[in-house]
Structure 1
Amino acid sequence: MDDEERRRVIRDFTFDRCKRGNQGFRRILLQLFGYVGHGKSSFINSAVSVWFNSEYQNCANAASTHESHTTERLTYPLTKNIVLVDNRGCAMMNTYETGEIFAQLANLLPLDKPVGWSKGFELADRIVEAEPYVKASDFTIPICVYSVKNFPTPHQKEELKEIFKTATELTKVVPTVILTNKSHQNYNEVEKLFRDIGTDNFFALENYTDKNPKRKKETDEAVIKFLYEVISDATFRADQPRNADEELIDRKLLVLRYIHNRELMIVKANLQKQRDLEKIQMDREFRMRQEEEEKAREKSRELQRERMERVQQEFNRQRLRNQFEHEQRMREKENQKDKRKK
């Protein structure tokens, strides 16, 4: 199949043509997620440029550095039924940022609105407040964008593994991975790492950027193939028995459980931290008491030694006095003997 045929399939896609009808679905959201500065916004720019066959434009406000400019869930419609979503990137996949990722992938937060990292149960409140604005008819396909210039640490690998697992549970779709900067020497190792964590859907490309805006056949073909493959996968999944309204409820329950369990873990961790601090304080106080008692004992021993020294000194002085007196008496006796002899 050539690119023109793929374009036709993408352009004409509608859930209404699936074997079981739309089952409550109306459009596909290709939701991009990942770390800050890995090329999500740049991929949006590339995809928009390729799909509309236009000159490169920085429509997604992609940064030229590893900083992120995306602070909203911005949408970029390609067709009436296919929408790219540029989610806010994460600096570190801590429990608050991953909670936001899951809420976004579950489509529980409104589109084209600011995204903040909520703490505590604030995210749950935002999910409830967003209920009138989210649509069960949106079919989410998770897309992880990762730059191969950044080789994941063992900790990041475990983070990504858990995120992919939850993303799959939420969307019933294993995340597709777009590897940017594909010409970098890390490519093969990074691809293997993602295969190790459970995905084999890869698309590699060099994004168009402000520095390299010139369209290339290789990149154009990679973008069109990506769109065609994810649409084909969505069609396959939509041919299975589905229920859009029930799936939205299931996603909401899963994310709310995640938030609940996260807060329980944080409370337990804080309690453990408090207990550890209290134990450290008790140990410190115990050591201080021991040190004070040892100092008191040492002082007592020192006073005892001083008393013994004084007693010994007095004993010596007394012994010397006695010896002197004895010698003096002996001399007197000798003198008296001498006198009698005379």
Structure 2
Amino acid sequence: MDMEELKRVINNFSFDRLKNGNQGFNQILIQLFGLLGHGKSSFINTCIYVWQDGEYKNWAKANEGDGGFTKHRIPHTITSNIMVVDNRGLPKLDAYGSGEIFAQLGNLLPLEKEVNFNKGFGLVDRIVKSEKLVKTSDFIVPVFVHSVKHIIPPEEINELKSVLHTARDLTGIYPIVVLTHKTYGNLTTVESSFRDMGIERIFAFENYTQEDHFKTRGRHEEVLKFLQEVIKDAQFRVEHQTRNPVKEMHDRTQFVINYVHRREKMMELESLERKKAFEKAMKEKEIKRQEEDLERDRQRRREADDANLKKRREELERQRSAEQARYEAEMRAQQEANYKKGKKFFGLFGKKK
């Protein structure tokens, strides 16, 4: 299928033309999600640039901040029946950020409103307050955007896999993965990581940018094929399943609320575990300190006993030395006395002779 035919298919898509009718849907909502600074806004610029095929503009305000500029849910129109949403990115893979992502993916938070990452049950309150501000007639297609500049660390694989699978459970569709910066050099490695997570549909792009928007057939065709794949997915789901958008919105709401409750319970348990571990560590530290104090006391006593013993030995040695000196003096005195006595006796004996 050439580019003109692709554009015709995309432009003519309407839920009203499906064999089972629209079943309550009126447009596709391509929900972009992912970590901060991985190219979601630039990808939107690329899609609009390819579709309009005119002058390049920074429609999605890409690169106007230090990575991850988007703080709101910003919708961008591709056709009258297809809209792509630039959702706020995850600062990191954790339970709190994931809850916010799922609320955005489920279209439970209003468009063009700021997204604040809340701890506790603040997210639930925002979802409840937004019930009358969101549309049930949007067909959701989740699209995870990841830059191949970032090889996924082994310690994050399971967490990311969990996020992608939960997105599938929430929306009923396995996320499409869009890899940006495909010429950076890590494409094969990153693509393999996502396939190992069970992802089947992966598209790799080098986004058009303000600095590099020279039109190429390859980049244009890649974007059009991506949009065609999104349409085929939506068409298949609506033509081969009985759908009820109002019930699906309710189910997504309950899904995310339950997720938040599980998250808070998990966080509470983890907090208790951390507290127990801290108390255990402090107790062990205190026991170790007491043992070290006892050992120091024993060492001091040993040193004191050794010093006293040495002192007694030295005193005994001095006493023995003194006694030896006295004995030797007495012996010398006795010898001298005996010598003198013997000399006197010898002299008397000599006179008698």
Distance 1:174 1:334, change over 3 A: same
Distance 1:314 1:24, change over 3 A: same
| Letter of the 1:61 counterpart | K
Distance 1:308 1:221, change over 3 A: closer
| Letter of the 1:279 counterpart | K
Which residue does 1:177 correspond to in 2? 177
Distance 1:253 1:308, change over 3 A: same
8 Å Cα contact 1:47/1:223 also seen in 2 = yes
Displacement of 1:247 after TM fit?
A: 1.5
Which residue does 2:135 correspond to in 1? 135
Distance 1:296 1:335, change over 3 A: same
| Letter of the 2:249 counterpart | L
Mean CA deviation greater in 316-325 or 39-48: 316-325
In 2, the alpha carbon distance for the partners of 1:309 and 1:156 equals 64
Alignment of 1:41 with 2:75, yes or no, is no
In 2, the alpha carbon distance for the partners of 1:114 and 1:285 equals 48
Distance 1:287 1:219, change over 3 A: same
8 Å Cα contact 1:38/1:146 also seen in 2 = yes
- Pairs within 5 Å for 1:1-342: 1-63=1-63, 67-239=67-239, 240-319=241-320, 338=341
Displacement of 1:232 after TM fit?
A: 1.5
**Deviation per residue, 1:63-113 (Å, 9 max, x gap):** 178612211110012233211101122232222222211111111111111
Cα RMSD (Å): 2.6
**Deviation per residue, 1:287-317 (Å, 9 max, x gap):** 2212221222222223323333343344445
Distance 1:6 1:305, change over 3 A: closer
Matched-pair identity in %: 44
**Deviation per residue, 1:42-64 (Å, 9 max, x gap):** 11112112222321111111117
8 Å Cα contact 1:55/1:215 also seen in 2 = no
Distance 1:323 1:219, change over 3 A: closer
Mean CA deviation greater in 247-256 or 67-76: 247-256
TM-score in terms of structure 1 length: 0.89
Displacement of 1:243 after TM fit?
A: 1.7
Mean CA deviation greater in 54-63 or 206-215: 206-215
**Deviation per residue, 1:102-156 (Å, 9 max, x gap):** 1111111111111122222221221112111122221110112222233222234
| Letter of the 1:265 counterpart | M
Distance 1:324 1:69, change over 3 A: closer
| Letter of the 1:2 counterpart | D
Displacement of 1:284 after TM fit?
A: 1.9
Q: Please say which structure displays the higher CA radius of gyration.
A: 2
Which residue does 2:351 correspond to in 1? none
Displacement of 1:319 after TM fit?
A: 4.3
Residue 198 of structure 2 aligns to a residue in which SS? coil
In 2, the alpha carbon distance for the partners of 1:310 and 1:204 equals 85
Distance 1:318 1:133, change over 3 A: same
Displacement of 1:231 after TM fit?
A: 0.8
Displacement of 1:170 after TM fit?
A: 0.7
In 2, the alpha carbon distance for the partners of 1:169 and 1:67 equals 29
Task: Give the number of equivalent residue pairs.
Answer: 342
Mean CA deviation greater in 169-178 or 10-19: 10-19
Displacement of 1:41 after TM fit?
A: 0.9
In 1, the alpha carbon distance for the partners of 2:235 and 2:258 equals 29
| Letter of the 2:286 counterpart | E
In 2, the alpha carbon distance for the partners of 1:313 and 1:307 equals 10
In 2, the alpha carbon distance for the partners of 1:116 and 1:142 equals 20
In 1, the alpha carbon distance for the partners of 2:83 and 2:309 equals 94
Mean CA deviation greater in 235-244 or 253-262: 253-262
| Letter of the 2:208 counterpart | Y
In 2, the alpha carbon distance for the partners of 1:108 and 1:30 equals 14
TM-score in terms of structure 2 length: 0.87
Mean CA deviation greater in 103-112 or 327-336: 327-336
Displacement of 1:209 after TM fit?
A: 0.7
Residue 294 of structure 2 aligns to a residue in which SS? helix
* Runs (5+) with no aligned partner, structure 2: 349-353
* Runs (5+) with no aligned partner, structure 1: none
In 2, the alpha carbon distance for the partners of 1:26 and 1:224 equals 21
